[in-house]
Structure 1
Amino acid sequence: MLLKNVKPVSNSHKVTDTVDIRIKKGVIKEIGSSLEADKKEKVHDFKGAYVSPGWMDMHVHLREPGFEHKETITTGCEAAAFGGFTAVACMPNTKPAIHTRDVVEFITKKAESLAVDVHPIGCVTKERKGESIAEMADMKEGGAVAFSDDGDPVYNSQVMRIALEYSSMLGVPIINHEEDLDLSRPGHMNEGKVATRLGLDGTPGIAEEVMIARDIMLAEYTGGHIHVAHISTKGAVDLVREAKKKGINVTTEVCAHHFDLTDEEIEKQKFNTNFKMHPPLRTQEDVDAMIEGLVDGTIDAICTDHAPHAIEEKEVEFIYAPNGIIGLETAWSISNKRLFQTKKLNLQQLMDKLVYKPREVLNLEIPELKEGVKANLTFFNTDEEWTFSPQNVRSKSKNSPYLNEKLQGRAVGIFNKGQLVLNELR
């Protein structure tokens, strides 16, 4: 096929005039201006949209196996494609948990024919109980790219020490849900003025920071790679920044909603449970710190923590609702609004957070935008206004704080594994 009128953005391309891309058998055969299609080629005109190597979300919950009423691997990948992601890494809090090689291989097999690459993250501990190390080496051989007990922290420091020692041997990161449970529970939102006004138990930022400090010290001691999941507080960013300066092997990610929304939304939106997630929405000072961390490189990657829940699970009183929101379909619009439109990051810097760093953290092959390589591409714009209506939700669940909101900029398609997916609005 011939993909017409795209503006390339990558490490090897500055944003230039539009070009055409010829693809044969899934491989980029030619990049040039005003290419002519032969009779057998399908032509798709992208009308000046940008094209980059395919984006990756390194933190999603696909819910399968065990919670298919919330999401499946297929519907989760449909949501990912609509959001512009050609790859995702899925967390192991499934049922059964991803704590053995057979579950890892079940997921990769299920995703083989889909346009989105799915990389399973295995459990650190058996059944995510935090007691004994899971079969990490066997899972890695089966396709696991990292290890985490996400949803719960690896609470026992000795278990985390052993996990980090394994990580250094296996060459994979340990991704920890950074939370001191004794400090945080039974919090339902950020501890602060808003929680006090609303009469809700709060989760203080220090509950996140204490666990991050422990993990940084253990990573320094063992030489293992600790990856801080869904960072959310200014203090946490400061800890990671200082650890990186010391040369400690620590990386981190931030969810799009954590550099966009604050805890005040819970009051404004009258306890709308689609604003309940964990870590919770924090303060404006924390939001500003997330953006600063992205700008100075402290925060490596942008992710979503895409966490689908069925309507009946979220439509309850705020304190009884589960934590989590969907995010795959809206992450680019939020990043565009908060980072590109405000000139905090240019497109190449944004691609570093969406294309390169997630794969570097997980030691995955990085797609390139050049002739002779397999086509793994995301097509997107920065100016199109659109509404994230229920009809445009590709996820099986609809628990989003952005539902029915007008957004700017969207992914218009992806190409991966020989498949072109065009994202038409409904």
Structure 2
Amino acid sequence: MKMLIKNGTVYQAGKFTDEDILIENGKIKALGKDLADLTDNIDETVDASGLLVAPGLVDVHVHYREPGFTYKETIKTGSMAAAHGGYTTVCAMPNLDPVPDTPEKLQHMLDLNEKDGAVHVLQYASITKGLKSEERVDYEALKETGAFGFSNDGCGVQTAGTMYLAMKAAAEIDMPIVAHVEDNSLLFGGVMNAGKRAEELGLPGILGISESSQIARDLLLAKETGVHYHVCHVSTVESVELVRLAKQHGINVTCEVAPHHLLLNEEDIPGNDGYYKMNPPLRTKNDQQALINGLLDGTIDVIATDHAPHSVDEKTGDMRNASFGITGSETAFSMLYTRYVRTGVFTLEQLLNWMSINPAEIFKIEKAGEILPGKPADLALFDLNHETTIKESEYLSKGINTPFTGETVHASTAMTLVDGKIAYKRGN
């Protein structure tokens, strides 16, 4: 199977160039302006005039709900949503039923991901058995089975001793600990950020220190063990400052920010609306600005969606009763490009680095993040020239729980290729 992508603007190695891409048997065969000598018997030609051709986006934080919660999402629908958003590699969290905390359960997940994934779906194993216990898993056996990393996302590891021993074991086998940071003793039943807006709405608040205090603990443990410690969805000024300081001291830490924390703050919550309930919650304007600054100065390494679909019933009504979570796969790039690249806050190069190149490099995903001969043809073709509206009817995820429906954006995915095959095409 041969495909030729013509007339596109290709992003590779920090530069934009006008060149064609020849794909053969799922891999990039050649790049150049004149591939005539190599283009006999082309099966399909894609005219990418006016389109950006980028390495497929990489999302190191998604929730696909299968097995156990398929009414919210499945591997198939979640990965189709990822392809719609321009993602070609995603990393799925283990808060499932059953939790992939043994080699047998993990192998089952790997088989499902391979069978139903419209994109490459890498799989986290849990840090502890059942996520909420203090009993550690067999890290080496799970690595050998194919775990991408270890995470208890959705639950903070509450005991320092458990986290220390987990970090020590993960460091010995060169695997990352990817942490949801949250001290349960500081939550006090909160449903949104503790502050003025929560007081106005009469809702219980979540203290920022519930996040930052556990990051402080874990950074010291990471320094002691040498593990690659990755912090999920940082959301506060203090969290960013702690990571910045840790990097200055040579601690092996990376972190991510979610699109919704960049795009919204607590003042954007219109009322007691479950669609604005997420964990961590939308914080203050100052926190939001700290996240932007953290990206720009290199403290924050990647943007990851934390795509968390729920049913309509679970997100409708009072925030006290609604589930935590927001979808993100289908809106992240278009919203961030529109809000921050078009306004000059970020460059397009920076956005692509945070959403593709950096996560591939940090997590050693060798098949992602580059457009080079011999690499898999995992590509995202973006239309940055036409205004569109985000429509609920066009979502491929089962989850519609996002406040970004109806937003006008200036970026959309025209096509996504995974191993040289069309995983998403606009209009299909």
TM-score scaled by structure 1? 0.95
Mean Cα deviation higher: 377-386 or 390-399: 377-386
Contact 2:80 2:424 in 1 (8 A): no
Equivalent residue runs for 1:346-385 within 5 Å: 346-367=347-368, 368-385=370-387
Match of residue 149, structure 1, among 149, 152, 160: 152
Partner residue of 2:165?
Answer: 162
2:75 equivalent to 1:73: yes
Task: Provide closer, same or farther for how the CA distance between residues 106 and 376 of structure 1 changes in structure 2, counting only shifts above 3 A.
Answer: same
Unaligned runs of 5+ in 1: none
Task: Provide closer, same or farther for how the CA distance between residues 378 and 164 of structure 1 changes in structure 2, counting only shifts above 3 A.
Answer: same
Q: How far apart, in 1, do the equivalents of 2:218 and 2:129 lie?
A: 20
Q: How far apart, in 2, do the equivalents of 1:45 and 1:194 lie?
A: 49
Q: How far apart, in 1, do the equivalents of 2:163 and 2:341 lie?
A: 37
Contact 2:81 2:330 in 1 (8 A): yes
SS of aligned partner of 1:102: helix
SS of aligned partner of 2:210: helix
Q: How far apart, in 2, do the equivalents of 1:175 and 1:119 lie?
A: 14
Q: How far apart, in 2, do the equivalents of 1:50 and 1:184 lie?
A: 44
Q: How far apart, in 2, do the equivalents of 1:140 and 1:334 lie?
A: 35
Q: How far apart, in 2, do the equivalents of 1:103 and 1:338 lie?
A: 41
Q: How far apart, in 1, do the equivalents of 2:386 and 2:191 lie?
A: 35
Q: CA RMSD in A?
A: 1.6
Structure 2 counterpart of 1:170, one-letter code: I
Contact 2:201 2:272 in 1 (8 A): no
Structure 2 counterpart of 1:32, one-letter code: G
Aligned length: 422
Partner residue of 2:111?
Answer: 109
Structure 2 counterpart of 1:105, one-letter code: Q
Cα deviation code 1:182-233 (max 9, x no counterpart): 1123001000011111111001111111010000011111212211110001
Contact 2:113 2:122 in 1 (8 A): no
Mean Cα deviation higher: 81-90 or 339-348: 339-348
Partner residue of 2:335?
Answer: 334
Partner residue of 2:139?
Answer: 136
Unaligned runs of 5+ in 2: none
Partner residue of 2:30?
Answer: 30
How far residue 366 of structure 1 moved from its aligned partner, in angstroms, is 4.6
Q: How far apart, in 2, do the equivalents of 1:365 and 1:170 lie?
A: 18
TM-score scaled by structure 2? 0.95
Contact 1:130 1:156 in 2 (8 A): no
Structure 1 counterpart of 2:109, one-letter code: I
Partner residue of 2:230?
Answer: 227
Contact 1:356 1:366 in 2 (8 A): no
How far residue 105 of structure 1 moved from its aligned partner, in angstroms, is 1.8
Contact 1:10 1:351 in 2 (8 A): no
2:156 equivalent to 1:190: no
2:384 equivalent to 1:388: no
Q: How far apart, in 2, do the equivalents of 1:72 and 1:202 lie?
A: 32
SS of aligned partner of 1:364: coil
Contact 2:191 2:204 in 1 (8 A): yes
Q: How far apart, in 2, do the equivalents of 1:102 and 1:406 lie?
A: 45
Partner residue of 1:62?
Answer: 64
Q: How far apart, in 1, do the equivalents of 2:331 and 2:230 lie?
A: 24
